[in-house]
Amino acid sequence: MKKLLLLLPLAALAGCSLNRTAARVTAGVVDKGLPAVFSQSDPQYVREALPANLQLMEILLASDPGNKAMLVNASQGFCGYAFMFLEDETPERASVFYLKGQAYAERALDGATVETARKKDAHPLFWHTFCKALYMNINRDNPEAIAEIPTLEPAALKLLELDPGYYYNAAEDILGAYHAIRPRMLGGSPEKAAEHFELALKGAGANFHLSRYLYAKMAAVAAQDGELFDRLLNEIISAEPVEGETRLANEVARIKAKKLLEKKDELF
């Protein structure tokens, strides 16, 4: 009986270990397979398929809660799904997803802060900050969200120090959003926002059209520059499709650009 009682905890530990090992193997498959998702040309297909993959990530994290790669993937997944498919139609639901993405990134940071973050922390720091910026943008009437605006700049500057080109120069998008969201009386500047969005569109970011879309939606509208607004959105719409990992984002940007153009009279 004593031997049996000793074996029971060992069996439980072995079961936990097997679950964790299986979760890590599956997480590795998910991680390597994400480029295939980003390369899709059919946004509706991804919209319908992605929730099941997000649920799978959460199931895997239940067995392996400290898996940093999966935490970052979950953060990117929830944040990206909310931005691409929810924000324009159901901002309340998008807000929930942005907060989930932010929470997963915070777990991946594992106590690291803007001040203490190192190179290995750059990706979770980015998604934590990007989710936060997108959440703020659709919750400008929420005092608690707006109170967090000053945290965006130091985080984005840290990202430029740690990994400046990550995700198509998107740290510059965060700085653009920071200056566009912030009211002029509190230091905001549509002109500075435009400078950062222009930097986001250099090099690897030149053909990443979601940056162009954010530029139009945030900086051009904040500056009330209708000519810039039209130019950016029409560049997205007329761009030739390019195969690769920007294909899904660019197809989504095209759809969003057409819808945003239709709202021009409401924005200017």
Contact residues for 43 (Cβ-Cβ < 8 A; gap 6+):
84, 85, 248, 251, 252, 255
Domains and CATH numbers, the chain: 11-267 (1.25.40.920)
Torsion, Cα 154 155 159 161, to 10 degrees, reads: 30
Q: How far apart are the first and last CA of the chain?
A: 79
DSSP of 149-207: GGGHHHHHHHHHHH-TTHHHHHHHHHHHHHHHHS-GGGT--HHHHHHHHHHHTSGGGTT
Pick 31 or 178 by higher pLDDT: 178
Determine the pLDDT at residue 10: 44
Q: What is the DSSP string of 179-192?
A: HHHS-GGGT--HHH
Q: Taking Cα atoms as reference points, which of 201, 197, 192, 153 lies closest to residue 173?
A: 197
What's the pTM?
0.88
In this model, does residue 9 exceed pLDDT 70? no
C-alpha–C-alpha distance, residues 140 and 260, integer Å: 19
**Closest Cα partner for 132 from 162, 163, 109?**
109
User: For residue 13, what pLDDT band results from cuts at 50, 70 and 90?
Assistant: very low
Q: pLDDT band at 12, cuts 50/70/90?
A: very low
Out of 23-32, 196-205, 216-225, pick the least confident: 23-32
* Chain segment 35-71, per-residue pLDDT in tens: 788 899 999 999 999 999 999 999 999 999 999 999 9
Q: What is the pLDDT of residues 139-192, one digit of tens each?
A: 999 999 989 999 999 999 999 999 999 999 999 999 999 999 988 888 889 999
* Amino acid occupying residue 147: A
Q: What is the mean pLDDT of residues 14-18?
A: 55
Task: Give the confidence band of 21 by pLDDT, cuts at 50, 70, 90.
Answer: confident
* Digit-coded pLDDT (tens) for 117-126: 999 999 999 9
Write down the pLDDT at residue 125. 98
Q: What is the mean pLDDT of residues 254-264?
A: 98
